[in-house]
């Protein structure tokens, strides 16, 4: 199996190269070598200091490797000049290509940084320099964000310039996401926040299933706890799996109290998760479970002038709290 080396330093800019890797190279054909280098400060390190630095680098590499867990990943940590250490790792691992950004420093413009320049000159393999605009995730989530406990959504095909995916509310505690696909097919994605990459790219905690594939005509009740860590709740994302055709699905979030859950509990839960305000009207779906065609909320219509570039905020509501006590954690 061929190998690709990606130098990373943990900054969002360096991680753009991983996005290009995932979009371009199949995990069935390529292994990934992640390299992280601590620049030498110019004075000799004791063995204890060097061991401590390497331990920290290895922890960060392990966390980053989880974002590409469908690849076989080799990690290398080093201390010294970044360019030289990357070249050494490339030779030792016999890589076919190095994939990296031109610089990890903000304000670098179109210029190639010193490390990238060194690697281009000395590498004995191909070097791919990734444009920083390749990753939309670094700039913030650009899909539609919905805030109510239930509704019906139409998502355009992935080849469309309109919205082909959306976020639905992340809810504290144990809940059930009742998903019914009326047309096409969708992917339900549950991911946790990664403090290293600053993205929602980790599998959910406690062994929860990360991805569900749901086809037209199917109804699925997905048990989820999206509380997350600290203020960073998990993210619930729905993606249209079709390239050209539209997908339509309805969802309803209800409290998960086992067999003891009552209609009153679920009605209270829906009232609690409803964060609608006058300013949110453009982002909210109809409460009608079986709407007429005109009532289906288009995801691209939800991302109006105020939400064309949706930030990484995402509604997170505790079913046990009142509307006034509800908080947006993300």
Confidence of residue 280 (pLDDT cuts 50, 70, 90): very low
- Predicted TM-score of the model (pTM): 0.47
Q: What is the pLDDT of residue 175?
A: 93
Q: 12-26, 61-75, 238-252, 298-312: which has the minimum mean pLDDT?
A: 298-312
pLDDT above 50 (res 330): no
Q: What is the Cα–Cα distance from 253 to 174, expressed in whole angstroms? A: 10
CATH topology for 141-318 is Jelly Rolls (2.60.120)
pLDDT above 60 (res 237): yes
Closest by CA position to 116, among listed 107, 105, 34: 105
Unique residue bearing structure tokens 């929860």: 208
Map out the domains of the chain as residue ranges.
2-137, 141-318
pLDDT per position as a tens digit, 108-121: 444 567 888 999 99
pLDDT per position as a tens digit, 28-49: 899 999 999 988 756 677 888 8
- The string of DSSP letters for 165-219 reads EEEE-EEESEEEEEEEEEESEEEEEEEEEETTTTEEEEPPSTT---EEEEETT-E
How far apart, in Å, are the Cα atoms of 187 and each of 70, 175, 224, 251, 271? 17, 19, 15, 13, 26
CATH of 2-137, one of 3.40.50.620, 3.30.2020.30, 1.10.275.10, 3.30.360.10: 3.40.50.620
Region class of 170: left (phi > 0), else alpha (psi between -120 and 50), else beta: beta
Please give the average per-residue pLDDT across 219-231, as a whole number.
86
Q: What is the pLDDT of residue 293?
A: 42
- The mean predicted confidence, pLDDT, of the chain is 76
pLDDT above 80 (res 122): yes
Q: What is the Cα–Cα distance from 138 to 134, expressed in whole angstroms? A: 9
Phi/psi for 44 (5° steps) reads -70, 135
Token pair in block for residue 298: 């288009």
- 312 near 140, Cβ under 8 Å? yes
Q: What is the pLDDT of residue 105?
A: 55
Closest by CA position to 327, among listed 319, 226, 318: 318
Q: What is the dihedral of CA 203, 204, 209, 211, to 10 degrees?
A: -60
pLDDT above 80 (res 259): no
């Amino acid at each position: 199996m061929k190998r690709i080396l990606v130098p990373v330093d943990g900054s969002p800019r360096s991680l753009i190269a991983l996005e290009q890797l995932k979009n371009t190279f199949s995990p069935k054909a390529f292994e990934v070598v992640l390299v992280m280098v601590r620049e030498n400060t110019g004075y000799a390190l004791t063995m204890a200091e060097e061991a401590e630095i390497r331990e920290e680098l290895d922890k960060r590499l392990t966390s980053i490797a989880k974002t590409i867990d469908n690849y076989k990943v080799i990690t290398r940590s080093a201390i010294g000049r970044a360019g030289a250490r990357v070249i050494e790792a490339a030779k030792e691992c016999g890589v076919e290509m190095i994939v990296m950004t031109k610089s990890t420093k903000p304000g670098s413009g179109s210029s190639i940084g010193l490390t990238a320049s060194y690697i281009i000159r000395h590498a004995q393999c191909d070097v791919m320099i990734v444009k920083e605009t390749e990753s939309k995730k670094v700039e913030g989530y650009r899909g539609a964000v919905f805030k109510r406990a239930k509704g019906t959504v139409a998502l355009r095909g992935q080849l469309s310039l309109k919205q082909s995916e959306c976020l639905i509310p992340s809810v504290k505690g144990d809940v059930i996401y009742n998903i019914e696909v009326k047309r096409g097919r969708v992917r339900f994605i549950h991911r946790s926040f990664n403090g290293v990459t600053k993205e929602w790219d980790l599998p959910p905690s406690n062994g929860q299933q990360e991805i569900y594939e749901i086809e037209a005509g199917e109804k699925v009740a997905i048990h989820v706890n999206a509380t997350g860590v600290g203020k960073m709740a998990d993210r619930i994302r729905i993606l249209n799996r079709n390239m050209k055709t539209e997908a339509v699905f309805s969802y309803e979030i209800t409290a998960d109290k086992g067999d003891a859950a009552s209609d009153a509990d679920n009605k209270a839960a829906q009232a609690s998760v409803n964060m609608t305000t006058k300013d949110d009207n453009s982002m909210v779906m109809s409460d009608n479970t079986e709407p007429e065609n005109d009532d289906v909320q288009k995801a691209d219509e939800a991302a109006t002038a105020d939400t064309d570039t949706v930030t990484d905020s995402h509604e997170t509501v505790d079913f046990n709290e009142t509307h006034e006590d509800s908080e947006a954690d993300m």
